[in-house]
Amino acid sequence: MAHLVDTLRPGGAEGVAVKYANRLAKQGIEVHLVASRYGGSLEAFVAPRVRLFIAGRKSVFDIAGFARLLKYLKESGIQIVHSHNSSSALLSRVLNCLLPRRAPCLVTHDHHGPANRQKWKMRLCFAGTKCHFVVSDTLGNWARDLYGVDTRKIRLLPNAVDLEEFPEKRNETLRAAYAIPKGSLVLACVANFRPEKEHLLLAKALSRLPERGRITTLLVGQKINPRHLQAVEAAFSSCGHDYRILLDCSNVSEILRGSDIGILTSSVESGPVAVLEYMAAGLPFVAPDVGMCIDMLKGLGALHPLRPLAESCGTIFPASQLDGCLKGLSLLVKAAADERKNVGRRGRALVAKHFAVESRVENIMVEYQNILRRVSGDVQPNKEKKR
C-alpha cells in the first residue's frame, strides 16, 4: 500500500502519514510513502524499510510530474492508496480513473475538516473511497452530511502518538541551542502560522501575565500565512516578551523534551496532535476545549475546568477566551516545578494507555484486510518478503 501526501514538510497530516507508514513497515508490510509534489525535513524520519518516492509535481497541471506518479503506482503494483489530505485525495481519485484494469483501492483520511474546501471537489475526492478515516466524530458527521460519504465506510481513528519518538530523558541542550536565559521557564507552542491557531491570543495573555519576564516562548510551526506570521512577530515584540520563532522544525520531540510547559490557543481543532505530543514529552499543558483528543481526555476524567491540577494532565479553557487562557497559563507558571513534573508524568501515562500509535495501526490493518477481501476475495496485504 502507498500513503500519499503532497509534501514531506512538517505538518500534522504529513507527520501522521510518516508515523503510520513506519509502523506498518515494522510489521513486515510493504509500504510506500509517496509525496506528489516535493520532499522536506520529514524525509529524515522515514524508516529505511519504507519505500519513499517523490514525484516532484510543480503544479496542478504538471503533466510530467503526474505521469511519473502514475507510472510509479502502476509499476509498484500498489493495492491500496491511502491519502492524507484533500489534494492528495483528489489526485488519487484521478489516478484511480486512469488505471482501470489495475486500479488501487482508495482510502481517504480526513485530519482537518471542511474549512475553505469546495463541496463539489470533496464529493469527487471521496466518491470512490473504500474507507474514510476521520480523527473525530465531528469530521465523520461532516463527511456524511456535506460530502455524501456512506456511513458504512466512515471509520473513527483518533490521533495518536509514537512514544518511541519521545524518550523520557530530558533534552538538556535546548537552552544552549536557542540561547535561553538561565532560570527561564520554557513555554512551547507547536502550531502552524495561520489565523485560526490564535497566536495573537497567546501574545495578549503573556502581555498580562506578571511572570512573563521569566518565560521564554518557543513558537514552532510552518509559515502557512506570511501576513499572520508578521502580525505574530509584531505582537510578541510589542509586549517585550522573550520569544523565538522556529520555522519548519523536524526536531519537535527534542524541543518539547527541553521545555517546561506546552500551550495551544487554537479556535478550532480536530485532534489536536500537539496536545498529545506535549503529553508524550511529559509536559503539563494549556489548551482550548476543542477537538476529539480533548473530549477523550475529559471522558477519562483527566481534564476538567474545575479539577485540581494535582488530579489532571493539564488545563483547558473555552476557545478564543483570553481570560481563560491567562488563568490556565498562570496556574502552571505559578505551580512548583515538582508539581508540573507530576502533571506531565500523568499525561505521558495516559498517552501510553489510550493514544498509542500501535492500536491505531492495528485498526488500519483490519480495514485494509477487509477492503482487499471485499475486492478480491480472501487476499492479504503484500508482505515485503514476497516482493
pLDDT tens digits for 313-341? 999 999 999 999 999 999 999 999 999 99
With residue 88 as reference, give the H or E element that holds it: helix 86-98
The torsion angles phi and psi of 364, rounded to 5 degrees, stand at: -60, -45
Query: How far, in Å, are 21, 122, 173, 239, 319 from residue 114 at the CA level?
Result: 25, 9, 40, 35, 19
β-pairing, 242-247 vs 261-263, is unpaired
Q: What share of the chain is helix, strand, coil (3-state, %, to 5)?
A: 45, 20, 35
Q: How far apart are CA 213 and CA 185, in angstroms?
A: 10
pLDDT along the chain (387 residues), means of 10: 92 90 94 94 94 92 88 90 84 75 84 72 83 93 92 95 93 95 96 95 96 95 94 93 92 96 94 94 96 91 77 93 96 95 95 94 95 74 47
**Is there a contact between 285 and 259 (Cβ–Cβ < 8 Å)?**
no
Sheet with 2-7, edge to edge strand ranges? 51-54, 32-38, 2-7, 80-83, 105-110, 129-134, 154-156
Q: CB under 8 Å to 63, separation ≥6 — which residues?
A: none
pTM of structure = 0.89
Q: CB under 8 Å to 277, separation ≥6 — which residues?
A: 161, 166, 190, 252, 253, 256, 262
Neighbours of 44 (CB within 10 A): 11
Please report which residue ranges of 172-315 form alpha helices under DSSP H: 174-177, 199-207, 226-238, 252-256, 273-280, 292-299
Structural domains of the chain in order of their starting residue, each with its CATH number: 2-160+356-386 (3.40.50.2000), 163-354 (3.40.50.2000)
Which tens digits make up the pLDDT trace of 1-50? 999 999 998 888 898 999 999 999 999 999 999 999 999 989 999 999 99
Neighbours of 112 (CB within 10 A): 17
pLDDT at 239: 85
Torsion angle defined by CA atoms of residues 106, 107, 113 and 115, in that order, rounded to the nearest 10 degrees: -20
Q: How far apart are CA 166 and CA 273, in angstroms?
A: 14
**Is there a contact between 90 and 124 (Cβ–Cβ < 8 Å)?**
yes
Cell numbers describing residue 264: 495551544
pLDDT at 385: 41
Q: How far apart are CA 248 and CA 205, in angstroms?
A: 25
Angle between helical axes of 273-280 and 12-26 (0-180°, round to 10): 60
Query: How far, in Å, are 49, 107, 112, 170, 319 from residue 284 at the CA level?
Result: 35, 35, 25, 14, 18
